[in-house]
Structure 1
Amino acid sequence: MKTMLIYLDSKYPFTESMPSNLCDLDATEARRLIGERKLSSVDLVEACIARIEAVNPKINAVVTTAYDRARVEAKAADEAIAQGKPLGLLHGMPILVKDLNRTEGIRTTFGSPLFKDNVPTSDDPLVARLRKHGAIILGKTNTPEFGTGSNTKNRVFGTSCNPFNTKLTPGGSSGGSGAALAANMAPLATGSDSGASIRNPAAFNGIAGIRPSPGLIANPERSHGLSTNGVEGPLGRTVADVTLLLAAMAEYDPRDMMSRPIDPSIFLTLKPVDVAGLRVGISEDLGFAPIDKVVRETFRRKMETISGAFALCEDSGTSMKGAEEAYMGVRALHLLSGNSARYREHGKDLDKNLVWNIEDALNKTPTQYAEAVAEQTRIHREFQSVFEKYDVLITPACNVLPFEHTTLFPATIEGRPAAHYCEWFSILYGISLIGHPAISLPAGLDPQGTPFGIQVVGSRNGDHRLLEVARALEALLASTPETQRPKADL
């Protein structure tokens, strides 16, 4: 259904064909209309607030709201346009921020009872960057305690649900952001990804999300400076939306040991890619990851649907043997650097899953850590040969289908007991281990009627090219009912 939106205020003497709900607009379209005075930030913010109030009680994706402040900032954004002031990339755009990022004047709990009443007096660097570009913080999205987990639940706000089936998990740890975007509660949302935490909720919720190369989005507060773990990144409903937010998030900061000089404006221009010229490598399991049979079969069906469009599409023969042991060591170092002091002070007051992860890390020997880092280095070097033959590598974006949120993690995988908590997202953490950029794209539905995603991996530091290819793949996927992006019935 379409409606004509007419501005009664003389500052906006325009008409524009709009969706009946402005919150359903893609971010890039909404930003264009705001800049052309065909959409007011006030109206967009109000539409998003109405959607959150209507849908969030059943999904529990947004856990803290900042409506009053958002309304004031939206009005100021509209006035700035009327006065002809310079506009930022996200001028007047409402955005949801994962509850791991400090937000000045807006409660930030990190999903932990230890911070349930915490209201920061300053923004963290990423949030400050978003505000500089004109973004309006509408609220905070749910996350596991301190982001440790890929099933979004905590003891402060409870469990987030999948908009396609509220008995199932939206994934995590950016599950609140993923679910909110799938329900069109806001046009954009932030996430972070150590092992799977952007790509997994993107896949489970039928949206897009990129894990950028470590250092592209500078984070001078990272506790483990030289690590491929712990990157921040954008989620959106389309590749264009993800790219817009990435352009606002990317920045060089010498205080971040992984950061490198970057001109974020390059992401504002994506060249067209002809899929007929693409060389595509496929891997169902990266040569090490256990993948449920239903996921393998679904992935094969999706790829068979689109494979004929490429110049080359074949099994890549990729093997990341040893990635499990390497990742668990690298992950343990990352966890300890950020949580060891907290564990010593609060111990058993922390979430049981977080405690298990920390204690598992404490039980590793120095030799195990050294071997993990050495294995990570070997796997990274060998993986570079993939891009001597292929433009991108495509894998499933999940080892399992979305599962019941009452279960912390799947008890079985490939028909046998799961070896440990992280095993069920190993197809994603394998790529985290080597630090390549990877984007999760929606590719239709799985056999249980929930979204199915594919992971598209780019060359080292090839984020810009990856996004160009991803946009072409998105259009290809949208061309057939089998692989087009699903939408939740709200």
Structure 2
Amino acid sequence: MDELWALDATELADRLRRRDVSAREVVAAHLARIEQVNPAINAIVTLDGEGALKAAAAADDALAGGAEPGPLHGLPIAFKDTHDTAGMRTTYGSPLFAEHVPAANTLVVQRIEDAGAIRVGKTNVPEFAAGSHTFNTLFGVTRNPYDPTRSAGGSSGGAAAALAARLLPIADGSDMGGSLRNPASFCNVVGFRPTPGRVPTVPTDDPWDTLGTSGPMARTVADVALLLSVVAGPDSRSPIALDEPGATFRAPLGADLSGLRVAWSPDLGGLPLDPDVRAVLAGAPDVFTGLGAHVEAATPDLSEADLVFRTLRANAFEIAYGATFDEQPEKFKPALAWNISQGRALTRGDVGRARTAWGRLYTAAAAFWDTYNVLIAPVSQVPPFPAGWEYPHTVDEADQHSYLDWMRSAYHVTVLGAPAISVPAGFTPTGLPVGLQIVTRPRSDLFTLRVAAAFEAATNHGRHHPAL
């Protein structure tokens, strides 16, 4: 596959900088691919091909005139439809914002465009990014490129499906309960939830929030690092922003894992797990052993993770959407209305107890990281499920009572405040992708990428393309 749309972002970026290919050619190739494939998967829901080609022509002219190319020069991207894009419709997957056109970019969009990427459109999301299955009443369901009868995950499901289908070489996303990691696992791509503050969230109504964060998604770990190098870095408007510059992530990713202490948690302390997922991931510890690491079974204390995450998430949803819900409740999907009502039922004591529990959990995790360098675990408790479902109602015969229940293997890791990446780890007997979650100590994002790159190089599961 030597078509331009099939190339990884790092190779495309190198060719563009050397002027072996033009931005016009690269963007045109991806637009043709979108026209051919997107109708089958519904990953990109807003498209501006004409505007993208004009921007590509301007990028070519600037390079010919001697301008220094940015790290993402000429690479096409469609932004997640929860990230504001100046002059381009941003709906948040909600009928309330069906015609909403922001006046300004969010920080992550601005940084990507400043680095030379070419905006072609927006990728699909669930309503207000609530849930890890991408569907809404505006645009419908996003389907999995490996099996269009299956979910692409969410909330960055449009982004993951677009990457897997070779519609885009890079994609932005965000993650609170697994919204970068779950769709990456479902679509056999790489999704990275960085340490909170690594990619500042600007603007935001809650600048102190560390549950949610933006982050990069791509088909390889190197491509994720390339995008992270652009979106990471401090911003004075964010009180939790980390000072380390984004350029740090352009360092080589080669790593020797000899002597690494790896904790293998096949079910994160007893979560129900689909037998196919369990079987696919059973070989992951042997990969790390073969790379020279010492692997043993261990899990951090996550006994209070449900209390922490679900309380603080519900509180955040009520603050963000409660007033709008009161005005037009019929415009909200039932699961989102339920989550808002959960937030309304909380007392100040409930929120205080959750924050205190979070402190205990984080302190216990710090001791865990003193013993282990890496935690490996499932990303998702299930393989991609039928696209017609709202969510799986059982996992290995265990009932799942809400749209959040089946996502515990992702959101239990969220509350650790640690960088976590989903890397392709294999396929079920029916050909559905399964990802491995690699987690390391908070703020060790570059180390996480290096460990993930070593696993990727040893397995090459990401090189298995969907047969579209």
What TM-score comes out, normalization by structure 2 length? Answer: 0.97
Cα distance in 2 between the residues matched to 1:271 and 1:202: 20
* Structure 2 residue aligned with 1:152: 134
Cα distance in 2 between the residues matched to 1:313 and 1:424: 27
In the alignment, structure 1 residue 489 sits paired with structure 2 residue 467: yes
In the alignment, structure 1 residue 103 sits paired with structure 2 residue 81: no
Query: Of 74, 77, 80, which aligns to 2:56?
Result: 74
* Structure 2 residue aligned with 1:10: none
Cα distance in 2 between the residues matched to 1:317 and 1:151: 27
1:395-449, Cα deviation, whole Å (9 max, x unpaired): 0111111101111110112312113321111111011112100000001212331
Cα distance in 2 between the residues matched to 1:55 and 1:396: 30
* Structure 2 residue aligned with 1:16: none
Secondary structure at 1:226's aligned position in 2? coil
**AA in 1 matched with 2:204:** R
* Structure 1 residue aligned with 2:297: 315
Relative to 1, partners in 2 of residues 1:289 and 1:226: Cα closer, same or farther, differing over 3 Å? farther
Q: Residue 212 of structure 1 contacts residue 438 of structure 1 at CA under 8 Å; is this kept in 2?
A: yes
Q: Residue 422 of structure 2 contacts residue 437 of structure 2 at CA under 8 Å; is this kept in 1?
A: yes
* Structure 2 residue aligned with 1:276: 258
Query: Of 314, 318, 324, which aligns to 1:342?
Result: 324
Q: Residue 451 of structure 1 contacts residue 486 of structure 1 at CA under 8 Å; is this kept in 2?
A: no
Relative to 1, partners in 2 of residues 1:127 and 1:160: Cα closer, same or farther, differing over 3 Å? same
The range that moved more, 431-440 or 416-425, is 416-425
**AA in 2 matched with 1:372:** A
Cα distance in 2 between the residues matched to 1:171 and 1:83: 43
The range that moved more, 463-472 or 167-176, is 463-472
CA-atom RMSD in angstroms: 1.5
Q: How does 1:289-300 map to 2 (within 5 A)?
A: 289-300=271-282
* Structure 1 residue aligned with 2:99: 117
Relative to 1, partners in 2 of residues 1:168 and 1:126: Cα closer, same or farther, differing over 3 Å? same
Secondary structure at 1:180's aligned position in 2? helix
The range that moved more, 342-351 or 455-464, is 342-351
Q: Residue 290 of structure 1 contacts residue 426 of structure 1 at CA under 8 Å; is this kept in 2?
A: no
Relative to 1, partners in 2 of residues 1:281 and 1:485: Cα closer, same or farther, differing over 3 Å? farther
Secondary structure at 1:276's aligned position in 2? coil
Query: Of 133, 138, 144, which aligns to 2:120?
Result: 138
1:300-340, Cα deviation, whole Å (9 max, x unpaired): 13434553333301112433112112211121122123212
Q: How does 1:216-295 map to 2 (within 5 A)?
A: 216-295=198-277
* Cα distance, 1:197 vs structure 2: 0.2
Relative to 1, partners in 2 of residues 1:212 and 1:32: Cα closer, same or farther, differing over 3 Å? same
**AA in 2 matched with 1:26:** D
* Cα distance, 1:276 vs structure 2: 3.2
1:179-201, Cα deviation, whole Å (9 max, x unpaired): 00000001111100011000000
* Structure 2 residue aligned with 1:436: 418
The range that moved more, 157-166 or 122-131, is 122-131
* Structure 2 residue aligned with 1:59: 41
* Structure 2 residue aligned with 1:372: 354
**AA in 1 matched with 2:339:** N
Q: Identity over aligned residues, as a percent?
A: 38
Q: Residue 272 of structure 2 contacts residue 398 of structure 2 at CA under 8 Å; is this kept in 1?
A: no
Cα distance in 1 between the residues matched to 2:32 and 2:462: 27
**AA in 1 matched with 2:164:** A
Q: Which runs of 5+ in 2 are unaligned?
A: none
Cα distance in 2 between the residues matched to 1:144 and 1:317: 31
Aligned residue pairs total 468
* Structure 2 residue aligned with 1:32: 14
* Cα distance, 1:343 vs structure 2: 1.6
Q: Residue 396 of structure 1 contacts residue 453 of structure 1 at CA under 8 Å; is this kept in 2?
A: yes
Cα distance in 1 between the residues matched to 2:194 and 2:237: 18
The range that moved more, 22-31 or 356-365, is 356-365
In the alignment, structure 1 residue 84 sits paired with structure 2 residue 66: yes
In the alignment, structure 1 residue 303 sits paired with structure 2 residue 281: no
Secondary structure at 2:456's aligned position in 1? helix
**AA in 1 matched with 2:389:** T
Q: Residue 65 of structure 1 contacts residue 140 of structure 1 at CA under 8 Å; is this kept in 2?
A: yes
Cα distance in 1 between the residues matched to 2:410 and 2:187: 16
* Structure 2 residue aligned with 1:8: none
Q: Residue 275 of structure 1 contacts residue 473 of structure 1 at CA under 8 Å; is this kept in 2?
A: no
In the alignment, structure 1 residue 353 sits paired with structure 2 residue 335: yes
Q: Residue 204 of structure 1 contacts residue 450 of structure 1 at CA under 8 Å; is this kept in 2?
A: yes
What TM-score comes out, normalization by structure 1 length? Answer: 0.92
Cα distance in 2 between the residues matched to 1:461 and 1:144: 29
1:26-45, Cα deviation, whole Å (9 max, x unpaired): 00100011000111111110
* Cα distance, 1:485 vs structure 2: 4.2
Q: Residue 442 of structure 1 contacts residue 486 of structure 1 at CA under 8 Å; is this kept in 2?
A: no
Secondary structure at 1:337's aligned position in 2? helix
Cα distance in 2 between the residues matched to 1:285 and 1:439: 17
Q: Which runs of 5+ in 1 are unaligned?
A: 2-18
* Cα distance, 1:271 vs structure 2: 4.7
Secondary structure at 2:229's aligned position in 1? helix
**AA in 2 matched with 1:128:** Q
In the alignment, structure 1 residue 189 sits paired with structure 2 residue 167: no
* Cα distance, 1:484 vs structure 2: 5.5
* Cα distance, 1:260 vs structure 2: 2.4
Secondary structure at 1:303's aligned position in 2? helix
